[in-house]
A and B are shown apart, each in its own frame.
Chain A
Amino acid sequence: MLSDITLGQYFPIESVVHRMDARFKIIITMLFLVMLFWGQRWTTLLVGLFFTVLATLCSKIPFKMIWKSIKPLLPILLFTTILNLLMIDGGDVYWQWKFLKITEEGVITSAFMVSRICLLIAGTSLLTYTTSPIVLTDAIEALLSPLKKLKMPVHELAMMMTIALRFIPTLIEETNKIIAAQKARGADLESGSLKQRIKALVPILIPLFVSAFRRATDLALAMECRCYHGGEGRTRLRQLQSGMRDYIALAITLLLFAVVIAANALL
């Protein structure tokens, strides 16, 4: 059960998008998000769809994977649709029951909203599909590094993320071991009321926490022994490198953004 967790949903294949500089990918994704929310016209969605399809094709990520990332959010999408359908008033009335009614405006808005959210998920999941979590962490650190001047602990945050990523598989393995050990001692995790089941988790969580703290102490010691003294004067083995493809991708994104702004103003 626990081993199914795929972290960051990284989809490791070779493609132009995978080879892109993660910093650029983050910036482009940000621009894409702003663009989706900026545009109030249908052209925005067309441009967004064009961008998503283009990026997906370049990344060689199967469209099935994109659908897979949207699927878990279907209930939220459904909720948004119903809310928009019933709440927004204007234009022809298609259906009415007491105070509830579905209007032309409502249909249009809810369709718009749903498409927008779908594009949003598709675009952002492309980022995590094509970038390994560790590279993503590096890129975030690099992008936030100007904040170091404001005394933001950027390096420390990135280090924490790296360590968390490193220890997730270890702790999952440990949890499985503890579950097995508690089951062997007669713990019942699968039956009983919700309250009983939550209670049954306590003998699993406590050993897990104790061991996590012990690991943390050990790790801190090991890090110190390897000359760790914070981010100051630190170099990196993996260098983030930007190239022509990154600038081209950024240029395309900016161009699409300009189209959206123009469409907003002119139409």
Chain B
Amino acid sequence: MDSLISVQDVRFSYTTDDGGEQEVLQGISLEICRGEMIAVLGHNGSGKSTLAKLLNAVLLPNAGQVVVDGIPTTDDDRLLALRQKVGMVFQNPDNQIIATIVEEDVAFGLENMGVDPVEMRERVDEALKAVKMYAYRRHAPHQLSGGQKQRIAIAGIIAMRPDCIVLDEPTAMLDPQGRKEVMKTIKRLNRDYGITIVLITHEMEEAAQCERVVVIDHGTIKLDDTPAHVFSHVQEMKALGLDVPQVTELADMLRQAGYDLPCDLITEDACVDAIERLLRGGTANADS
């Protein structure tokens, strides 16, 4: 597949308060392809947010380089073009809405890019429809729920027509309903609009909905595979301080108790089917 973002042996360190250096990323290499939906998993302090910020030049690597669609993130002259290609959605929905009216906020990025007002109007409406928030276009942000605010933030990015959206724990501050809304929106954008999604998360259920999962620990990539494969490493994930989806864990416990279940169960439906088959099979065995 066509590579969109290429992270090449990137190292990054912060200066700590006492003047020392703490290396957060220790040589990360990653290819993100066009149209992919990829989850970056890791516990707090694993460096996953730092990685996200390197993707659109908010931070620059100490060593190695990040290239987005042919533009290295160190290229100052093409910084705006790069940020238009890779949009970013943050954790706190309140702190990324700039304007006092929803549609104004969606237009913010376009205003900065100097888009013509007539075209801007079209793109704002289109973006609001894409996140199903068009009916709220005249509302004030503080009248909306967390999930709705987060969708507005996403609309603000889509209006800029990016190739990729990086979402840094977009659901961490939302209620279950809001989480569902946001995940549905993200998945639809990936499927219908072909926008590449990089989802930074520590929610296993969310990662399971992606096509590819990258597990980061102590600044290095530990696993990089399909969710089914990644989550089949139940013990390894636990050792990294991460969970696996509940169904995977259940299947793993049953397997250890001697039941013959596949180790790549990540959705409830698949798990229900597998257990049902096992039970049917079991009954048949007992009969014979």
Binding site for B on A (CB under 8 A): 133-134, 162-163, 165-166, 169-170, 173, 214-215, 218-219, 221-229, 233-239
Binding site for A on B (CB under 8 A): 56, 58, 80, 83-84, 87-88, 90, 92, 94-101, 103-104, 107-117, 120-121, 124, 140-142, 153, 156-157, 160
Interface pair A236/B99, CB less than 8 Å apart: no
Interface pair A221/B121, CB less than 8 Å apart: no
Determine the residue in chain B with the shortest Cβ distance to A239.
Answer: B117
Distance between Cα atoms of A235 and B121 in the complex (Å): 12
CB distance from B221 to the nearest CB of A (A): 24
Q: Which residues of B contact A224 (CB under 8 A)?
A: 58, 83
Interface pair B96/A222, CB less than 8 Å apart: yes
Q: Which residues of B contact A235 (CB under 8 A)?
A: 110-111, 114-117, 120
Q: Which residues of A contact B109 (CB under 8 A)?
A: 226-227
Could you pull out 7 A-B pairs where Cβ atoms are within 8 angstroms? A163-B98, A166-B97, A219-B96, A224-B83, A226-B98, A228-B108, A237-B107
Q: Which residues of B contact A227 (CB under 8 A)?
A: 80, 83-84, 109, 112-113, 160
Which of B84, B95, B124, B157 sits near A237, CB closer than 8 Å?
B124
Q: Which residues of B contact A219 (CB under 8 A)?
A: 95-96, 98
How many Cβ-Cβ contacts under 8 Å join chain A to chain B? 92
Q: Would A237 and B58 be within 8 Å (CB), given that A222-B96, A226-B156, A226-B160 are in contact?
A: no
Which of A134, A163, A169, A236 sits near B117, CB closer than 8 Å?
A236
CB distance from A155 to the nearest CB of B (A): 11
Q: Would A225 and B56 be within 8 Å (CB), given that A173-B142, A234-B111, A237-B111 are in contact?
A: yes
The secondary-structure label for the interface of chain A is helix
Determine the residue in chain B with the shortest Cβ distance to A163.
Answer: B98
Interface pair A229/B100, CB less than 8 Å apart: no
Determine the residue in chain A with the shortest Cβ distance to B88.
Answer: A225
Distance between Cα atoms of A163 and B94 in the complex (Å): 12
Interface pair B141/A166, CB less than 8 Å apart: yes
List 20 additional contacts besides A166-B141, A227-B83; criterion CB under 8 Å. Answer: A134-B99, A134-B104, A162-B98, A165-B100, A215-B95, A218-B95, A221-B58, A222-B90, A222-B153, A225-B56, A226-B83, A226-B109, A228-B112, A229-B112, A233-B114, A234-B112, A235-B110, A237-B104, A237-B107, A237-B110
CB distance from A79 to the nearest CB of B (A): 36
CB distance from A236 to the nearest CB of B (A): 6
Which of A133, A163, A225, A237 sits near B120, CB closer than 8 Å?
A237
Ranked 3 nearest A-B pairs via Cβ? A218-B95, A222-B96, A237-B107
Q: Which residues of B contact A221 (CB under 8 A)?
A: 58, 90
Determine the residue in chain B with the shortest Cβ distance to A234.
Answer: B111
Distance between Cα atoms of A134 and B100 in the complex (Å): 7
Distance between Cα atoms of A111 and B66 in the complex (Å): 74
Q: Would A222 and B95 be within 8 Å (CB), given that A133-B100, A227-B109, A235-B114 are in contact?
A: yes
Q: Which residues of B contact A238 (CB under 8 A)?
A: 104
